[in-house]
A = this chain, B = another copy of it.
């Protein structure tokens, strides 16, 4: 176990479009569940469930303030995804490099 106990993994957490919208909303500022729910056509309960998934994946943090629960983005949770992606970037960079070389050679041929 690295840092946050991730019952849900990041990949699964961001798979749902509503949850991605939640992330982008919470990127702007910390918000309570009810306020967050006002931005979505689904019930507060449903939003709450999504928030829990995001929380368990370490993508948001929750803080109780009086009777409300404030959520905010925890961008560090996306590190795992970045690392995963970095592995594959090599492959398309490789292709790009090949294309670049090809174009340059063509350019030389034209002179």
List, in ascending order, chain B residues with CB within 8 A of A79's CB: 92
Which of A75, A78, A91 counts the most chain B CB atoms within 10 A?
A75
Cα distance, A87 to B81, chains bound together (Å): 13
The distance in angstroms between the C-alpha atoms of A14 and B87, with both chains bound, is 14
Bound: A24/B14 CA distance, A? 20
Count A-side interface residues using an 8 Å CB cutoff: 24
* Contact status A85-B81, CB under 8 Å: yes
- Once the chains bind, are B85 and A73 in contact (CB under 8 Å)? no
21 contacts between A and B (CB under 8 A): A11-B14, A12-B15, A15-B15, A20-B84, A24-B87, A27-B87, A27-B91, A73-B88, A73-B91, A75-B88, A75-B89, A75-B92, A76-B95, A78-B88, A78-B89, A79-B92, A81-B81, A81-B85, A82-B85, A82-B89, A85-B85
Binding site for B on A (CB under 8 A): 11-12, 14-15, 17, 20, 23-24, 27, 73, 75-76, 78-79, 81-82, 84-85, 87-89, 91-92, 95
